[in-house]
Amino acid sequence: MRLQNLEINGFKSFSKKTTLEFQNSIISIVGPNGSGKSNVVEALRFVLGEQSIKSMRGSSGSDLIFKGSKTLPKSSRASVTIYFDNSDKVFRLFQEGGENINLNYDTISISREVYSDGLNKYILNGTEVRLKDINNLLSSVNIGSSGHHIISQGEADRILNASSKDRREMVEDALGLKIYQYKIKEAGRKLERTNNNMKEVSLLRRENAPHLNFLKKQVDKFEKAKEMQVSLLSLYKEYLKKESIYLNREKSNLFNEKSKIEGELENIKHKISSIDGVNERVESEKERELKILEEKIRGIRNIKSEIERKLGRLEGMIEMEERRSNKAPEVVIKNPEEIKAIFEEITLEIEGAIIEENIAEIKIILLRIKEILQKFSGNIISSGPRIPGSLSQPDHEENIFPENSELKNRQKEVFTEMENIKDEEKNIFEKIEHLKSEINKENEALHLKEKEKFDYRVKHQEFTSSLNLISVREENLKREEETFENEIKEGGALIGAEILSYKNFETNEEVDRNSQEELRRKIERIKIKLEDVGSNGGSEILKEFEEVSQRDNFLAKEMEDLAKSIESLRALMADLKEKIDIEFKEGVKKINVEFTNFFSLMFGGGHAELSVVIENKKRKGEEEEGEGEEITFEQGIEINVSLPHKKVKELNALSGGERSLTSIALLFAMSQVNPPPFLVLDETDAALDEANSRKYGDMLEKLSHHSQLIVVTHNRETMSRAGILYGVTVGSDGASKLLSVKLDDAVAIAK
Ligand code: ATP
């Protein structure tokens, strides 16, 4: 790897694009004061990522842009590009993952642009990149950001003036340990990021924890609900199957019982209606016959009354006839026949009254009896010596009256008439008696029929009651069927369609209602618990729980990974620090060998060396004063010199030339141990006398075996060692110009 070109455009005094080619190992830049030589050195600093504007003699980015002259306008930006030959592919990019990527370009170009507003751009082979990428890349070829390999004008003794800590950094840089520092920094940043990540992950987990716990409880509940659903399903299967058996059986029983009872009822109704028909027919016929006969009897009674009246009149006429003829006895008592007839008449009337139901008719009969009795008492006539109350005998009376009397005959005829009518009456009475006994018999038969009808009615009533009972049972069955259907719906809502699998449940046909009730109570208890637990939305909760716990597991795993990477980062940092420590100590030893060589060469003897010192540093903590102070140990570098023939050892006591020589000796020693790809020396030789200039030139040549050297000088000796000489002049337009010159011209230009 070597420097190829440097392109400067609009940078400081270089208005137009100016190219320096580094075809030789020693390139010398010469020119009068103020021509722009140091601007070339600063262009190199600039393109390699220098962040201190001050070190480039400016106060802001715009100071680096060509400001214009009388004849040239000012530039809008300053741009510098450096080209490296990378045919050996040494440029590498250190990745955050730890591996290095070799850049597969033959030429590496790095550009930096600055605009008037201070904006900077870094471009690597045509692609805009970050400054840290440039630093990363350059550190791989031992071009450190401390800039130890670019010695600006008047900075030859910079390393002598620097603090022991800054010296240590320069030495580390020169030893190529910056890459490790860079790695440590990267690891430190990564460690910080990882720690922050860990905090974030831990916070996330803490934030997640209550929700996760809540979901866990819900899932436990859901699992419990699932278990309950399983036992509920098995209870349901048994219950529903048995219930369906019971309901079907009950239904068919009720149907059979109902059909049977309905048949019986139809039969009974038929029988009752047939009994009703017979009754009506028998009743009306007998009654009518009886009524006719009773009417006849009443007619006969009237006739008998008429006959009796006739007989009474005849008796009266006979009595009068007898009194007229032979002073008839004072008392005429009716003959026994007459009295018997009267009694019989009264008896008949009474019997008629007995069977008569109509009160009005009975009263008529009683009036007739009264009339008969009045008539009988009116016929009794009182007479002298006859014993009152003794009845006259018709036969005896007939002895009194003449047998052929017309009246007597008439009386006889009427008696005969009476006898006849009585016979007729007797016949009718007999018929009536017979009819009554017939009616009684019929009534009895009717009564029996009535009883039979009553019995049927009772049975009808019984069957109707049974039918009502069946209706009640049907209603109950309907309700039970509804309950059954509702149970399937409710159970389905809690368990799902699987509830219908009860149909396949195997059970015996015996269904005990008590055990069914017990099953139902168990089902109800589980249902209440299940409703309390809430089985709904379980799958969503489960899904959410899985998601949240997966996330938590992921975070836990991430915590583990982060902890591991923190551990490995710490280990890496410790390793790197150890490596730096070892390499630093060894590097210092090697530098010391070269340092003392160069030193004695320069001074013709004497001794110089670097020593590593440990400095205690107190750092205040963020807490109260006096507390939280932290003591850190830092390594620094001290320079110890011993000039030949002189006792002076303090650096401060050295002359300007001695300081320059010591600095150059150290710089060259460092470059010898770990040669940088190039070294820029801006008038480092300014303070040297002729003899030392020669020694300086010798050392340059020695160094140029390993590093390219770009030297800005006014010194002829130094110029004489260069392969290429560039002369810088200021043109008539006020801008720096670059031209390739020969040594003699160079000496002339330099003056
Ligand atoms: P010496 O030999 O005295 O060290 P030199 O050749 O190193 O001189 P430089 O310091 O490189 O000279 O150049 C300084 C010149 O650059 C000054 O004349 C200054 O005016 C000019 N200069 C610096 N910045 C700008 C700028 N932004 N625009 C134009 N010219 C600038």
Atom 4 of ligand 1, residue of closest alpha carbon: 33
Residue 50 CA to ligand 1 center (angstroms) comes to: 18
**From CA 143, how far away is CA 137, in angstroms rounded?**
9
- Please tell me the predicted confidence (pLDDT) of residue 624: 45
**Residue 36 CA, closest ligand 1 atom number:** 11
Residue 216 lies in a domain: yes
Q: Rounded to an integer, what distance in angstroms lies between the CA atom of residue 6 and that of residue 254? A: 115
Instruction: Please state whether 114 falls in left (phi above 0), alpha (psi between -120 and 50) or beta.
Output: beta
Residue 611 lies in a domain: no
Same domain flag for 109 and 209 = no
Tell me: do 416 and 271 sit in the same domain.
Answer: yes
Q: What is the pLDDT of residue 98?
A: 58
Q: 8-12, 196-200, 232-236, 532-536: lowest mean pLDDT where?
A: 532-536
Picking from 536, 552, 586, the residue at the C-terminal end of a domain is: 536
User: What is the rounded end-to-end Cα distance, in angstroms, of the chain?
Assistant: 34
Residues 102 and 245 in one domain: no
Between the CA of 115 and the centroid of ligand 1 the distance, in Å, is 19
Angle between helices 656-673 and 538-603 (to 10 degrees): 130
Question: Do 20 and 97 share a structural domain?
Answer: yes
Say how many Å lie between the CA of residue 35 and the centre of ligand 1.
6
- For residue 289, give its domain range: 183-298+406-536
Q: Which of 107-116, 350-359, 386-395 shows the highest mean pLDDT?
A: 107-116
Residue to substitute in 35, 60, 115 for testing ligand 1 pocket (most ligand atoms within 8 angstroms of CB): 35
Token pair in block for residue 58: 């400016």
Q: Is residue 525 part of a domain?
A: yes
* Spatial separation of the C-alpha atoms in residues 467 and 160, rounded to whole Å: 129
Give the pLDDT mean for 704-732.
92
Same-domain check for residues 294 and 429:
yes
Model-wide pTM > 0.85: no
**DSSP strand E in 458-497: where?**
none
- In angstroms, the CA 490 to CA 496 distance is 9
Give tens-digit pLDDT for 177-226. Answer: 877 887 888 889 889 999 999 999 999 999 989 999 998 888 888 888 88
- Same domain as 237, residue 123: no
Considering the domain architecture, whether residues 71 and 134 belong to the same structural domain is answered as yes
The Å distance, Cα 698 to ligand 1 centre, comes to 30
How far is it, in rounded angstroms, from Cα 577 to Cα 172?
A: 12
**31 within domain boundaries:** yes
Whose Cα sits closest to atom 24 in ligand 1? 12
Q: From the CA of 730, how far away is ligand 1's center (Å)?
A: 10
Strand partners, 737: 729
Same domain, 192 and 93: no
Closest residue CA from atom 9 of ligand 1: 36
Report which of 27, 118, 160, 190 is spatially closest to residue 569, judged by C-alpha positions.
190
Residue 282 contacts residue 424 (beta carbons within 8 Å): no
Judged by average pLDDT, the poorest of 236-250, 395-409, 512-526, 555-569 is: 395-409
| One domain for residues 19 and 112 | yes
Distance of CA 60 from the midpoint of ligand 1 (Å):
16
Kindly provide the residue ranges of all beta strands, DSSP E only, lying in 10-119, ordered along the sequence.
18-21, 26-30, 77-85, 92-94, 100-102, 107-115
Is residue 45 predicted with pLDDT exceeding 60? Answer: yes
Q: What is the pLDDT of residue 387?
A: 42
Q: Is there a domain that residue 206 lies in? A: yes
Indicate the top mutation candidate among 9, 13, 42 to test ligand 1's pocket, ranked by most ligand atoms within 8 A of CB: 13
CA 662 – CA 639 distance, rounded (Å) = 10
The string of pLDDT tens digits covering residues 158-186 is: 888 888 888 888 888 888 887 788 788 88
Please indicate, yes or no, whether residues 129 and 224 belong to a single structural domain of this protein. no
How sure is the predictor about 328, in pLDDT bands with cuts at 50, 70 and 90?
A: very low
pLDDT single digits (tens) 630-674? 566 677 899 999 888 777 677 888 888 888 889 889 988 988 888
The ligand 1 atom nearest the CA atom of 66: 28
- In the three-class reduction of DSSP (H, G, I as helix; E, B as strand; rest coil), residue 409 is classed as helix
Q: Looking at ligand 1, which atom is closest to the CA of residue 74?
A: 28
Q: Which amino acid is at 420?
A: N
Contact 656, 123 (CB under 8 A): no
Nearest CA to ligand 1 atom 29: 13
How many domains is the chain built from? 2
Interval 470-511: pLDDT, tens: 999 999 999 999 999 999 998 888 888 888 988 888 888 787
Using alpha carbons only, what angle is made at residue 470 by residues 468 and 475, rounded to the nearest 5 degrees? Answer: 95
> If we measure between CA atoms, which residue out of 513, 523, 521 comes closest to residue 488?
523
| Among 14, 38, 76, residue to substitute to test ligand 1 (most atoms within 8 Å of Cβ) | 38
Is there a domain that residue 370 lies in?
Answer: no
The H-or-E segment that residue 245 falls in is helix 178-326
Which residue, of 536, 553, 586, is where some domain finishes?
Answer: 536
Query: Which of 482, 513, 536 is the endpoint of a domain?
Result: 536
> What is the CATH classification number for the domain harbouring 9?
3.40.50.300
Q: Are 678 and 3 in contact (CB under 8 A)?
A: yes
Q: Which of 156, 210, 266, 19 is nearest to 680 (CA)?
A: 156
Say how many Å lie between the CA of residue 14 and the centre of ligand 1: 9
Instruction: Answer for the pair 673, 594: CB distance below 8 angstroms, yes or no.
Output: yes
Choose the weakest-confidence range: 5-9, 18-22, 405-409, 734-738. 405-409
| pLDDT score of 588 | 93
- Return d(Cα 84, Cα 101) in angstroms, integer: 17
What's the gap in Å between 74 CA and the centre of ligand 1? Answer: 15
Per-residue model confidence (pLDDT) at position 346: 87
Tell me, yes or no, whether 452 and 523 share the same domain: yes
**Rounded to the nearest whole angstrom, what is the distance from the C-alpha of residue 34 to the centroid of ligand 1?**
5
Token reading at 719? 């110029």
Amino acid residing at 122: Y
Atom of ligand 1 nearest to the CA of 58: 24
- Please report where in the chains the tokens 């006014």 appear, as a residue: 714
Distance CA 411, CA 338 (A): 11
| Cα 320 to middle of ligand 1, angstroms | 211
Question: CB-based burial of residue 443 (10 Å sphere; 0-12 exposed, 13-18 middle, 19+ buried)?
Answer: middle
pLDDT for res 403 = 54
Per-residue confidence (pLDDT) for residue 686, from 0 to 100: 86
C-alpha 424 – ligand 1 centre gap (Å): 189
Using pLDDT thresholds of 50, 70 and 90, give the confidence band for residue 154. Answer: confident
Alpha-carbon span 163 to 4, nearest angstrom: 35
In a domain, 693, yes or no: yes
Residue ranges in 496-537 assigned as alpha helix (H): 513-533
- 33 and 101, same domain (yes or no): yes
292, amino acid identity = I
- Determine the residue of 30, 39, 70, 710 to mutate for testing ligand 1's pocket, defined as the one with the most ligand atoms within 8 A of the Cβ atom: 39
- Which spans in 70-177 are helix H? 131-139, 158-161, 164-174
List ligand 1's pocket residues with C-beta within 6 A: 12-13, 31, 33-39, 63, 65-67, 153
Residue 35 lies in a domain: yes
Nearest residue (CA) to ligand 1, atom 2: 33
Q: In what order do the strands lie in the sheet with 18-21?
A: 18-21, 2-9, 77-85, 107-115, 120-124, 127-129
Distance (Å) from CA 13 to ligand 1 centroid: 6
